[in-house]
Every structure is written in C-alpha cells, then in structure tokens.
Structure 1
Amino acid sequence: LEWAGDEFPWVLEHHSNLEPETQTWHSKLVTENWDSPIIFTSMVQFLEVLFGGGSRGARRMHNIANSVLIFDEIQSLPVNCVHLFCNAIQFFVDHARSTTLLCTATQPLLDNLKFPDKGQLTLPDDRELVGNMTEVFEQFKRVEIKNLVRPKGWSEQKLIELMITQLKEKGNCLVIVNTKKWAKKLYDRCINSVDADSLFHLSTSLCPVHRKEVFNTVRQRLDDELPVLCISTQLIEAGVDVDFNSVIRFLAGLDSIAQAAGRCNRNGNLDMAQVYVVNPQDEAIDMLPDIKEGREKALRIFSEKDETELLDPEVMSLYFSYYFYERANLMSYPLTEKQAGRKDSLLSLLSDNHLNIGIEKNAIKLQQSFKTAGKAFKAIDSPTQAVIVPYGDKGKEIIAGLCADFEPAKAFKLLKEAQKYSVNVFPNVWRKLIDAEAVKPVQKGEGIYFLEERFYSENFGLSTEVVSKMDTKIS
C-alpha cells in the first residue's frame, strides 16, 4: 500500500502507546494523530481514544468519522465496555457517516442485550456477509471438540505426556494456555523432551516483529511437514493463519475454544481432527474474570449439549446468552465510590448523569462529568506501559536513535517504527523491571523507556530477570 520514500505514509500501525501520560513539548511534536488514510490499531487503543481522559484521544477521534471501521475478533470486547462501545458505534454509523464491519467466527449478541435502552447495536436484516450460516458451518466442519475436563484437573506431568503423545502421533501440536506463566512453564518442561528446533513459545512478551518471525518459522516447518510443538497464549487465536493436526486448549469460554478450533485442520488435510479441552490444576485465573466466567459457562454448555454440537452457531448463541445476560450489570462500566465519589457507572457519567451531586441542577444542557469519566476509564483493568525492546539490529538502532539528540521529524519516524519493537507490560511487571534496573528512559523526563538487552530472551521475549544470550534459536 505504500511506496518506499513516501513523505506522507498511507498506513499507520498503532498498537503500543509510547506516549507518556503527562506530555512534554517533545512528545506533543511527535504525537500520532491518526491522520493516515489506513489505521491498524487495537481494541484497547480504540476504546482509549473514545473514552480515555486527556487530549490524546480527542486529537484522534475526529478521524473515525466518515470511515470504514473493521473490528476483527469482536468477541474479545471487554464486557464492562459493551454499552459504551455500542453507543459509540451507533453514533458513528447514524450521525458520522461511518460504516462498521464486525468480524468473528463467534459473533456476540451485541444487538440483543438484556438492557437495550442502555445501548445496543441496530443491525440490518441482511447483516451477515455469508448467508445460510448453519449450512456453511456444516460444510466446513473439520474439527471435533473432545471434553477432557477432569474433576481434580490435569497435573503438569499428565499435560506434558498428552502434549508429547499428540506431537508423536499427529506430527505437530498446538497448545493454547490462558496465561504467560503457564506458557513458559510448559515450554521449560518440554525442553529436555522435544528437539529444540521443534519447540516454540509465543506470547505478548515477544515484540510484534519477533512474534512474526516465530510465526513464519512455524508455518514453514508445518508446510515442510516437520515436527512442531507450539505453546502459545490466546494471541494465536486472533485470526492467525496456521494449520495444526492437533490442538490442546486450556479450558476457557466456548468462543475461545471455537477460535482454537480454527487453528486445527484449517486446510482440511485430515478428514477430521480433534481439539482437546483440558483443565490444569492450580491455574490462577481469579484476576482474569472474563476467562473465569467463560469457563463456567462453557462447562454449562458441555453438560447440556453433545460434543458434536459444540461448534454450531445456535450453541454459540446460547453460550453468549449465558455469558452476557448474567453479566448484564457489568456492561455499563460500574464505578466505585473511590473512582466517582459514589457508586455509579461510566455510562451514567457520560449520559444523563442522574446521580450528579450538586445543590442545583446545571442550567446548561451538558450534564456529563467528562473529566471524572476520562480519569476513571481504563480499557483494561491494569493499564500497561510500553517498553521498546532491543530485538535484532533494527530494535537496537531505534533505541540508539531515540537516545540521541532530539529532532522532531526523526523522533516521529522512529516512534512509528518502535511500535513493532515494543512490549506492553502490566504494573506488577513494570515494578519488577524498575527494581531490576532493566529499563531506562530514552530521554530524561520524556516518559518513553527502553529495555536493557540482557533482559530480552530470544525464546521468551521480555524478562524481569537477566537471561542468557546462549538461548538464541531463531535467526
């Protein structure tokens, strides 16, 4: 889409927020305003633009009007943002001449919510791009779900044995877990049992360029019919075009299980392939309410439906009715007294704001508490900090350039390139990196940081501990 040397780029890739919360005059000069004709971004960034505080989002929001908005994997929309998202999208469609396309194999019920008056989508009768969905699903049925959930869960050793067995019997196997901790744990356990060239780890601890290289290596080995055991977090479920003969999926929501099934027998090389659903012992997901709730509703579906029906569109709609309807009170983004001075919701603060405490009702028409809402809103519960990592020669070159004397045009270009060499970390990981002196600012006081080289592994990506340089596998 772009020609080399174009002065004004056509495509902007914006998924890591490398801008500091408190802007300096340097950061204002190089800030990204979504002025390019084509924008690739994440749901987190999109929601922050619409509902986050500060002026960064406001500078980008107007470019959403008169646009085509394509949302991939829409089922990953945070539950507490459902009504906010639906109201915003309906506004852009009805009043800002935008068109929206919601893409997923597991469509959530955003047009049939429990409290429609709080905001839901109005979809046309001919909403589906593909007609006769039930018939189409039947024609493409190449995978069956095997429920291997155990009352006491799977031990780590039994999981390893299942993985190795599938690798030997099927030639390749994809294991999808719910947390980075489990991905690294299983990888470590397999190092002495699987040939190093066959073993791969994927998580968001790897920067995008690093992940792309791993994907390419995995695809090539699969095409060459070489052994592959890939242990990944849910990131591989987001529209990644890979085809494994066998998939093992940690128990999660039925939509996630269906997405995992999309990486199995994708090209139809087998008459039928299996996705094995397992529940590990001691899996800490209390801090992951969406996964925890999804697991409970998936188990309910397992108890009510036959294994052969689990991927049917009607069953998926039933799953979402369980998942959404019982969480309807969360969809307005509830706020605590600490966040809003009273128990309220972000939807209320940005609409009628009927709980607004004041001696008299405001005479002006705007009743909303924009500042309070912007301060309280977070697209994810724990906001992340982007860190530029020294992956490959290009990553090191970007860091060196940003650490040099400040030049606005050069810094703007480097920050755009740095999107592909950045890793977003949660507050607990950020604190560990600070304590280990693993991160440093590119410029004093600018709020943009890079990672020391010794804290980035070729196999695991960003680490809170010093990693050996001898673990390099991918060239």
Structure 2
Amino acid sequence: SSKLGVENVGELIGLLHDFGKFSTAFQVYLGSATGKINPDEDEYVEFKKLKGKIDHSSAGAQWIWEKLQNRGKQGELVGQILALCIASHHSGLIDCLKPEGEDGFTKRIKKEDEKTHKQECVQNAPQDYLKKLESLSDQKLIEDVLKQIKIIFESEKGKPPGMITFFYLGFWTRMLFSCLIDADRINSADFEDPENGEHRNIAIDWSTPIFRLEQFIDQLKGEKPIDQLRRNISNTCKQRAKEQQGIYTLTVPTGGGKTYASLRYALHHAEHHKLDHIIYIIPFTSIIEQNAAALRKAIEDKNDDYPWILEQHSNLEPEQQNWHSKLVSENWDAPIIMTTMVQFLEVLFSGGTRGARKTHQLANSVLIFDEIQTLPINCTHLFCNALNFLTQYCKTTAVLCTATQPLLDQLKTPDKGQLTIPAENELVKDVPKLFDDLKRVEVSNKVRSEGWTSEQIAELALDELKELGSCLIIVNTKSWAQQLYQTLDNQIDECSLFQLSTSLCPAHRKTILKEVRERLDNDLPVICVSTQLIEAGVDIDFSSVIRFLAGLDSIAQAAGRCNRNGLHDMATIHIVNPVEEKIDLLKDIKIGRDKAQRVFDEGFQDLLAPDAIKQYFNYYFYDRSDEMTYPVSKKSILKRDDNLLSLLSDNSNNIGRKTPLLLKQSFMSAGKIFKAIDSPTQAVIVPYSEEGKYIIAELCRVAIEFDAKTYRQLLKQAQKFSVNVFPNVWQRLMDEKAVCEIQGEGIYFLKDEYYSEQFGLSDKPCNPMPFMGF
C-alpha cells in the first residue's frame, strides 16, 4: 500500500481482514482442523464440511464501516472502500450494486451478527490489538486516503464527476484490494515455505543490467545499413529515457530492433525514476520465450543471486483457486516480468483474486507493450482508462511499440476514455523517413474475384521456393494450415516442409523454429505453413512470404518475417484470398480483411507506409466504435444490454443507481463477464517429448503428497508443454475422455494418443501408443 501512499491504510485492512477469526465458531473449526481439539471432545466439529462456510471476512468490514460512516461523506467514501476490500478478500471485489439493482454492499454490511460474529470478535480480541485498530482508524486515515482520491476528482476541472472519475475511483479500490490480497497470500506462502521470504523485496540495482546491456550492444558489430539504423533507434531510446514519466510511442518498422531498443529505454528510465519493475506485455505466448531468451542473453549472468526475468506463459493456474494453488501462484515479484496481453488485461479487469493479486505491481513500473495493435477491440476504452490512471496517479510509464500504431489517442468517442499522448512523446524522430529508410519488402496484391485454391497457393509457394530458396505461408485458420501442409506434403522433400500453429505446445514450436532457422542459415530449402502466431515478433528471415488477406496491420507484421536483415535489395509479400475460407466467426480477421481491401482499392503507393496504416485504422476503429466499451447482451448474467465500462464506473444503466453510496460498481458481475479473449481458453499439459511426459508423471506424483515448492517448479516447467484450447475443442476432448485432471487441482493433461508430431493437439486419436501419467 506504500505504492498508493497509504501505508497506514494497508496496515489497518491487513489487521482487520481476518478479524472474524476471533469468533468461537472459527476457533473451534481451526482447533478441530489442526488436531488441537480431539475428535472425542464435545467441541469437535466436522471441519471438512465447514471449510469456507464460516464467515470471517464480514466482521472486519462491519467494524471499519461503523467506525467511519458517521464522519460525513468523506468518511463514508473511505469506509466503503476499506470495507469493500476486507469483505472481498476471498471472493474478489463484490458488487456494490447487484445486476438486478439490489444494494449488495449495504446487504453485506448489515449481515446479521449471529452470522458475522462481530460483537463476539470485539470481546475476544486482545486489548492491544483493538487499541491498534482504534489508533489507525483516526481522522488522519481519512485525510490520507482523500489526499490520493482528491487528485482524481480534480482532474474533472470543476465539472461534476463523470464516468471516467468513477472508473478511476473503482480502479484505486482495486489497487488497494490487490495490496491486501498479495500480502495475505505471501503470508500464507511464507508460513508453508519460510525460504520464500529470503528472495522477496530485494533492493533492485538497475545499474547491473544497464552495464551488461551496454556491453552487449557494443559487441553487436553489424556493418550493413540496417544495422546502423537499428543502432540509431537504440541510441535515441537511451537518450530519451531520462525524460518525464507518461505514455510514449515507439513506432518502428518490423526488424528495426525494438526488443533491445525498448529494453534500453526501460532500464535507463527505471534507474532514473527509481522504479520497481519493467513489465513486457506481448501479444502471444508463442514469442515470450524467444524474447525472454534475447533479454537474458543481454542482461543475466549464471552467477546472479536471483533471476532478473520472470516469464508467464499460460493460465496453468486453475480458474477456482484452492489452498494449494494459492500457495503456488505467482505475484509478479521480479524486476522484469514478461507476460501476454491476455494476462495483463486479466490483471486489470478479471474477477476473483488471481488477477487482482498482481494489479498493484503495475504501479511504479515501466510497461512495454509489444505490438499494441493486438489489443482486443472490446477492451479499448477499458484499457485506455486503466493506462491513463496508472500513468497519471501511480508513477507508471507506458511505451506502445509497433510498426502499425493504432489511433488510441484519436477515438470516435473520447468521453469514454482515450489515451493521453502528447505529440512529442513519439520516441523516434521523423517516422515516415525511418519507414522509407528501412523499407525492404513490397506488397504484391494478388487478390482475385475467384479466389485461390489450395493447389494454386501450393504452386505459388513451390515457384517461390525454386526461385528464392525459402517461402513462408501465413494463413488465418488452423484448418487451412493443415490443408496446405497436406497439399504440399507429396510435392516437396519431407525435411523441407514445416507447420506451425497454437495446437503445438511452446516447446514443440521452439524445436521446429530452431530447425527452420538452421535450414535458412545454411541455405537449405524451406516451406513453412503457419497461422498468424509467427507474425508478431518471431525473429526469422524468409526470402518470400505469401499472406492470406487479413488486416493491414497483420500484413505489415507478416512482411517483417521477410528480408528481415536486408540481405536482398527488395523482397515481396504476396497477398492471396483463398476460396471457401470459413472466418465468419473470426470477426477481427474478417473486418480487418475488408478494411485492408478498402485501403488496397485507394491506390496507396506504399501499403506499408504510416499514412496507409493510419487510413486503415481510421476505417477499422470508426466502424467498430460501438464495440469498444465491452458490450454485454441481455443473455448474460445482467439480463439486460449494457457494457463493462459502465459496470466498472457509474453503473448508469443499473436501476439501483440512486443509492446514496458513492461507489456503485458491479465489480463481481463485471469480473465474471470479463474475458480478455471472446472464448476463455483452458490450458492442457501435453505429452510432447520425454520431458513433457516426465513433467506430467511428476505432477501426478507430487500432487498426491502436496509439496508446494516442487509443485510450483513443475507448473513453471509445464508452461512450455501446455496448449490453450477453446471451449468447443475442450468439450470434444472431454467427450473423448482425452484429458485427465491431476488430483482435483484443476490442472489437466492430455493423453498421448491425442498429440501428433505434425499438428500437435487433436480431438481425435492420432497416436497408437498411449502414455499414462501414473
């Protein structure tokens, strides 16, 4: 809570959150569970049946509410914020207003004493503890909170508080809630494993990775024109790192060296402003490992006392956390964190406690967004408001990196929240000239009314292979990747053909990419068929690319996998439109494709230049502005048409909005509805290679006799062997009995016969030899 400038508030809610445990009912439950009360004694209770059923979170919330609610409107607001955090510490933030209009906060606060045991807790609690509570809940507490919140209200410049002000108030509450959850979980983890504490809160000396990075950059001695351009970009980022905090853009063409340039900026900026973390937000899990390896190569040493970089690949934490999974979940307590946009958005907006636990770590940090254009369209206003809050009130800096900068500061409905980015906050000078200097690829528009068959696309790829030695084909769907691979399979040497999709686990993709790179480096023939996972930031260099028609931002990313190091004067990306491409359900790709076609028809001289990209985003964002508030239909738990921006701000569509309470948000309902991708995915550990099979077997063994430390290490290793599947595929796997749960932990593994060497996870058996994890 020191990050929010309210240490005393953190101490108070920390003391109060388990106040209900002073009740006789809870003490008897605890005594029975720990063996202090013998089963033969009259007091003994069946503790397993009572787990989670004795309310111990309401008493503390009631105590602070009663203490502060009578101290005017200001005391009432502070009381509501603190009581919300305490009452919610097991469930995630509760609804102040429930969807049907009921005042959920007041209902919880007025819960009967026979269920909350507040009076009994006051009687049973030690006197020195109660005195501490009294001394902390004084007028200074209200003033300290108001000092922070007042800045939010002042941003309205005299106008009545509107939607964005209430969003900020709700987000400030989530930050405080995050501090409480993290402290509570750390306390539990340290009790289970006292060694944990030794590696926490180590003072970060940014000069160490800075020194190593500068040495590493000095050794990069490329002499080609592109190498000099990359050095110039990197040097500019270093020079500008000492400027004030805020939101910056880094608009650099693909292959311009953004990874090291942004790291250089972030390290120098973190040192100058004394920041706690650098957090990289990457579009896909598929490139986390590659980027983390590049960063480690530059700044880590095998003799370091602790790793500088923490990777988070997938949601291998179960949806509903039990005691075990709470102990093993990460809290982003590392200097440099690499995560995905999906997980970042869940940290901002998801329900429950798993994502919220990490939210406070975003304060006092540098956030580097790689390929910011991949932000889901329905999260646009939510994201903009959260990022404005973090950069304006939490000592956070954000850098939006991409070759195709979306217009997040020029939205159609700015009153719902758009980014505040001053024009001078573009880190590189003269972006159009930079794009011209770095131009290495031209677009060949081969779209035709009759479309392209699988055989015709294969023929084009084989022609490119014959002439240039390598070709990458990027498709929009896994089914087309499989179809093209099978079409090419009979026409090319087996060791020259590769397929990549997210049905392969990260370790499998890494093996394939390594082999592809080796063949490219040795001028051996390669055709690789891939879904769009290869577009964003994968460091690979083909002589030619064929791209299925998609959004212009995707086409620009695909072009970055071609002639990446300027080995040819100019290379070509061929745009084709396949026949019978079933993408009606892939709305982002379908609309992107249509808007790209519109830009194609306008005859831009260079389709990858900033002016063409800007026109594309004008069309794309303008037509989709009504989707940007995260719309929710009446089929949802709300039973009405609404949106998450409203639910997390003033809740203006809720019939109970006239309640006198200042916070009216439906936090829990919004959290249940929120998913960073339209279909929530389920992570499955797959039996790829001997290592993957060994990890599955070990997880099954360790789960029986729970060993938190080993389990945590195995789950980290398992991230490289996990595949995220959509609900329809998950259901088919369940119907096939293709997945097994590990000892009721909410973690699943795939049976051996459902994973193939060519295509990865399948919902039909593809291997004859089953592997059993036990």
Deviation of 1:107 after TM superposition, in Å, equals 0.6
Partner of residue 753 from structure 2, selected from 451, 454, 457? 454
Match of 1:234 in 2: 532
Summarize deviations over 1:249-292 as a string: whole Å, max 9, x none.
Answer: 00000110111111111111111111110000110111111100
* Match in the other structure for 2:668: 371
The number of residue pairs the alignment matches comes to 467
8 Å CA contact retained: 2:752, 2:767: no
* Whole-angstrom distance in 1 between the partners of 2:579 and 2:456: 10
Instruction: After superposing the two structures, state which structure 1 stretch, 89-98 or 13-22, moved more.
Output: 13-22
Offset, 1:135: 0.8
How far apart are 1:36 and its partner, in Å? 2.1
Q: Is the 8 A contact 2:350 2:356 kept in 1?
A: no
How far apart are 1:66 and its partner, in Å?
A: 0.9
- The reply to whether residue 314 of structure 1 matches residue 614 of structure 2 is no
Q: Is the contact made by 1:457 and 1:469 (CA closer than 8 Å) also made in structure 2?
A: no
CA contact (8 A) 1:146 1:277 kept: yes
- Structure 2: which amino acid aligns with 1:101? V
Give the aligned partner of residue 401 of structure 1: 698
8 Å Cα contact 2:312-2:338 kept in structure 1? yes
SS for the counterpart of 1:381 is coil
Deviation of 1:31 after TM superposition, in Å, equals 1.6
Alignment match, 1:412: 712
Q: In the alignment, what sits opposite 1:190?
A: 488
- Cα distance in 2, alignment partners of residues 4 and 21 from structure 1: 35
State the shift of 1:28 in Å.
1.6
Does residue 206 of structure 1 match 2:504? yes
> Take 2:616 and 2:404, find their aligned partners in 1: how far apart are those partners?
10
Stretches of structure 1 that go unaligned for 5 or more consecutive residues are 471-475
CA shift at 1:138, angstroms?
Answer: 0.9
TM-aligned CA deviation for residue 5 of structure 1: 9.0
| Contact 2:550-2:592 within 8 A present in 1 as well | yes
Choose which of 299, 317, 328 in structure 1 pairs with 2:625: 328
Distance (Å, rounded) in 2 between the aligned partners of 1:469 and 1:103: 46
The answer to whether the Cα contact below 8 Å between 2:348 and 2:359 also exists between their aligned partners in 1 is: yes
Structure (1 or 2) with the greater strand fraction: 1
Amino acid at match of 1:284: K
**Equivalent residues of 2:351, 2:668 under 8 A apart:** yes
2:426 to 117, 120, 128: 128
What are the within-5 Å matches in structure 2 for residues 137-152 of structure 1?
137-152=435-450
Distance 1:135 1:6, change over 3 A: closer
Q: 1:440 aligns with which of 729, 740, 745?
A: 740
For residues 75-103 of structure 1, the C-alpha deviation after alignment (integer angstroms, 9 at most, x for no partner) is: 11110001111111111111111111111
Partner of 2:549: 251
Alignment of 1:1-400 (within 5 A): 1=296, 9-306=307-604, 308-339=605-636, 340-358=638-656, 361-400=658-697
Closer, same or farther in 2 for the Cα pair 1:253/1:157, shift >3 Å? same
Equivalent pair of 1:252/1:295 in contact (CA under 8 Å): yes
Q: Quick one: structure 1 residues 428 and 5, their matched pair in 2 at CA, closer, same or farther if it must change by over 3 Å? A: farther
- Counterpart in the other structure of 1:473: none
Distance in 2 separating the partners of 1:8 and 1:382: 36
- Post-superposition shift, 1:32? 1.9
Q: Which runs of 5+ in 2 are unaligned?
A: 1-295, 770-774
Give the deviation of 1:452 after TM superposition.
1.2
1:181 counterpart SS class: helix
Residues 237 and 256 in structure 1, CA contact (< 8 A), matched pair in contact too: yes
- Post-superposition offset of 1:127: 2.0
Measure how far apart 1:338 and its partner are.
2.2
Alignment check: 8 A CA contact 1:166 1:246 kept: yes
AA partner of residue 381 (structure 1): D
Q: Which has the higher contact order (CA 8 A, sep 6+)?
A: 1
Shift of 1:7: 7.9
Identity rate of aligned residues, in percent? 62
Asked whether the equivalents of residues 441 and 449 of structure 1 are also in contact (C-alpha less than 8 Å), the reply is: yes
> Of the two, which has the highest radius of gyration?
2
Displacement of 1:12 in angstroms is 2.0
RMSD (Å) for aligned C-alpha atoms: 1.6
Q: Deviations over 1:98-129 (max 9, x none)?
A: 11111111110011111111111111322222
Secondary structure at 2:412 match in 1: coil
- Contact residue 391 and residue 421 of structure 1 kept, 8 A: yes
**How many angstroms apart in 1 are the aligned matches of 2:303 and 2:324?**
24
Using the alignment, how far apart are the partners of 2:326 and 2:482 within structure 1?
39
Displacement of 1:15 in angstroms is 2.5
SS in 1 for 2:424: coil
Give CA-to-partner distance per residue, 1:205-258, whole Å, 9 cap, x none: 111111112111111111111100000010111111111111000000011011
In the TM superposition, what is the alpha-carbon distance from 1:8 to its structure 2 partner? 5.5
Conserved? CA contact 1:244–1:263, under 8 Å? yes
1:10 Cα offset (Å): 3.6
The whole-number CA distance in structure 2 between the counterparts of 1:20 and 1:126 is 44
- 1-side partners of 2:714 and 2:690: how far apart? 14
**8 Å contact kept, 2:475–2:548:** yes
Give, in whole Å, the separation in 2 of the partners of 1:250 and 1:76. 18
Assess if the C-alpha contact under 8 Å between 1:30 and 1:412 holds in 2. Answer: yes
* Maintained 8 Å contact 1:285/1:291: yes
